[in-house]
Amino acid sequence: MPKTVSTDARRAPLLVVSVHDVAPGSATESERWCADADALGIPVSLLVIPGHWRGERLAEHPDFAALLRDRAARGDELVLHGWSHRAGPEGGRMRRAAGYAVARGAAEFAALDERQAAERLGHAGRVLDALGLRMAGFTPPGWLASAAAQRALAAAGYRYTTSHFGVKDLRDGRLHRGFALSHRPGGGFGERLGAALVRAGAGWASRRPGVVRIALHPDDLHRPGLRDVTLRAIEAALARGAQPVTYGAVLGAGPR
């Protein structure tokens, strides 16, 4: 079980680096980010997509599952990241539009009712159990999950979930605050703004108690300069004394 770290009884902030969209379809990018984390000497939270995504399914790649088990044994954390990472037709027009704007069509759990969320969690759970992968936490695609989806998570035994604004303990509702910093690859103003926020946000957050969260996505590696901005931001947080941990260590949550 990860060591519990109090966010109230310490001065130094916690640094959580998460690798998103970890799946066979993004294996090369995921392994590159993991290699960067190893070079920095920090653990990462690996956000796993078990369903069909980018032409592949985790159930059909036992070698990739073995890699994930090895990473977990070495101190990384495995976190469920939805089922298919694709939003469906659920919810009203405004909710779907908001989810698309924020998550670019990936807000799979943003508008689900409790039954729909439980069904997708069940699909994911069966795949993970068959591959020997255990997870205590859930990060919804786009960091968007309906209240009903959160109830389904708690009922399924998940200990925490995350949003843009922090890490929520599903047992008591406590929110460990920390804004998620990530890029917006694709060029133009959005990409430049995202890079500036990652750079400045990590510096600002690491100067005070709390949780510094930096999210790494596979597509970041396909845009010139974004990887360097990310690594410099992580290095700056570490230089200011931020303690690198996984999401589970923030709450002391071990795998289910």
Q: How confident is the model at residue 91 (pLDDT cuts 50, 70, 90)?
A: low
Q: How confident is the model at residue 99 (pLDDT cuts 50, 70, 90)?
A: low
Whole-number pLDDT of residue 2: 47
Mean pLDDT (the chain) is 90
Q: Select the more confidently predicted residue: 194 or 99.
A: 194
DSSP 93-105: HHHHHHHHHHHTT
Assess whether pLDDT exceeds 50 at residue 92: yes
Assess whether pLDDT exceeds 80 at residue 241: yes
Phi/psi at 232 (nearest 5 deg)?
-65, -35
- Fold adopted by 14-251: TIM Barrel (3.20.20)
Assess whether pLDDT exceeds 90 at residue 42: yes
Measure CA 9 to chain center: 25
User: For 101-149, what is each residue's pLDDT tens digit?
Assistant: 555 567 899 999 999 999 999 999 999 999 999 999 999 999 999 999 9
Q: Select the more confidently predicted residue: 6 or 138.
A: 138
Q: Tokens standing for 221?
A: 């590696």
Is the alpha carbon torsion for 73, 227, 160, 26 positive or negative? negative
Whole-number pLDDT of residue 22: 99
Assess whether pLDDT exceeds 50 at residue 6: no
Distance set, CA 87 to CA 16, 21, 38, 161 (Å): 26, 15, 33, 18
Whole-number pLDDT of residue 7: 45
Q: How confident is the model at residue 224 (pLDDT cuts 50, 70, 90)?
A: confident
For the chain, give every domain's residue range: 14-251
User: For 201-213, what is each residue's pLDDT tens digit?
Assistant: 999 999 989 999 9
Whole-number pLDDT of residue 1: 43
Whole-number pLDDT of residue 79: 99
User: For 124-137, what is each residue's pLDDT tens digit?
Assistant: 999 999 999 999 99
Q: Select the more confidently predicted residue: 16 or 105.
A: 16
Percent of the chain clearing pLDDT 90 (strictly above): 77
Q: Do the Cβ atoms of 207 and 239 come closer than 8 Å?
A: no
Q: What is the mean pLDDT of residues 6-15?
A: 67
Q: What is the mean pLDDT of residues 81-100?
A: 68
